[in-house]
Amino acid sequence: MDSASVTAFFQTLVQGLLTGGLYALIGTGLSLIFGVMKVINFAHGDFLAIGMFITLALFKAFNIDPYLSLLVVAPAGFALGFLIQRFVLARLGDRLGEGSMLATLGLGLIVSNTLLLTFGAQPQSINVPYATTTFQFAGVQISIPLLVAGLGTLVAIVGLNLLLYRTELGRAIRATAQNPLGAELQGVKTTQIQAIVFGLGVAFAAIAGVLLMPLLYTFPTVGENYTTKAFIVTVLGGLGNLPGAVAGGLVLGVIESLGAFYISNNYRDAYGLIAFLLVLLLRPEGLFGKTVKRV
């Protein structure tokens, strides 16, 4: 292999890892929600779209830098998720299992159609000077917004781990995930824990939306694609397995990136789906899950 093709390989790999970081962020939110509530959030990508559109609107109206809008989007995403759990999912009671699928599908439709009414169907993007700038390291060109996205993901995931393993609240969240009845009997208000967890999951999706905004066009149904990607990530990593979701995200990013470079860019989304099907067929518990089915 000559040095140009080695550089190209690393270029593709780094790009895949950074994109994968974003997938990890999206997948972690979905997996966290599933792990604690056993709810599959079909509106996950639409919450990401909300993050993108808030960023877009703030930029258009007040010329606010996309990354600065994280200060608005993260709390707004958390609040939205918290309220959805409180006023929609908590009302489903014993029928949370099937009910939550329909409820989140419905919420997703409401979100995408509201975005369509408000912003129109045409793809829109943000023009910031640094959008196309790159940073060179050992011959590998790294796009600045992609690097920021990767770092942002790292911060969010490290923060989530600190929350889960270093705080009282985190212990209560893990307890609720492992045994809701046991947690409730220790005085944990599990309905509140679920609302916090749904809030965190939505905030993670919305943050991913912000980080994507300088890189991509957005349109009202942009979320669909990301809901699919979030599913792929969590299935690769094992549902409810947070380190698995991070690894699954990175794997998906790299598969897509290598596939696009070495086979064909037209099938970028297909590579992930092929990996998804293979994992479902061969290792349904996920690449990193235990072979025993966890309840």
Q: Which is nearer to other proteins, 259 or 286 (CB)?
A: 286
Q: How far is the CB of 213 from other proteins (least distance, A)?
A: 37
Q: How far is CA 24 from the centre of its chain?
A: 6
Whole-angstrom distance, CA of residue 150 vs CA of residue 211 = 9
Q: How far is the CB of 244 from other proteins (least distance, A)?
A: 14
Q: Which is nearer to other proteins, 146 or 183 (CB)?
A: 183
Q: Which is nearer to other proteins, 281 or 292 (CB)?
A: 292
What's the angle, vertex CA 72, arms to CA 69 and CA 73, rounded to 5? 80
Q: Which is nearer to other proteins, 96 or 140 (CB)?
A: 96
HSE, CB side, 13 Å, CA atoms: give it for residue 165: 8
Q: Which is nearer to other proteins, 4 or 292 (CB)?
A: 292
Containing 257, the helix (H) or strand (E) segment is helix 242-262
Q: How far is the CB of 183 from other proteins (least distance, A)?
A: 7
- Contacts of 273-276 spanning 24+ positions with Cβ under 8 A: 273/228, 273/232, 275/232, 275/236, 275/251, 276/231, 276/232, 276/235, 276/236
Alpha-carbon dihedral of residues 153, 223, 79, 68, nearest 10 degrees? 50
> Measured between alpha carbons, how far apart are the two ends of the chain, in Å?
48
Q: How far is the CB of 23 from other proteins (least distance, A)?
A: 25
DSSP secondary structure string for all residues of 158-204: HHHHHHHHHSHHHHHHHHHHH-HHHHHHTT--HHHHHHHHHHHHHHH
Q: How far is the CB of 251 from other proteins (least distance, A)?
A: 24
Site for other proteins in 149-168 (CB under 8 A): 168
Contact flags string 165-194 toward other proteins, x per CB under 8 A: ---x--xx-xx--xx-xxxxxxxxxx----
Q: How far is the CB of 180 from other proteins (least distance, A)?
A: 9
Q: Which is nearer to other proteins, 133 or 167 (CB)?
A: 167
Contact flags string 188-227 toward other proteins, x per CB under 8 A: xxx-------------------------------------
Binding-residue total with other proteins (CB under 8 A): 17
Whole-angstrom distance, CA of residue 89 vs CA of residue 106 = 12
Binding interface with other proteins (CB under 8 A): 168, 171-172, 174-175, 178-179, 181-190
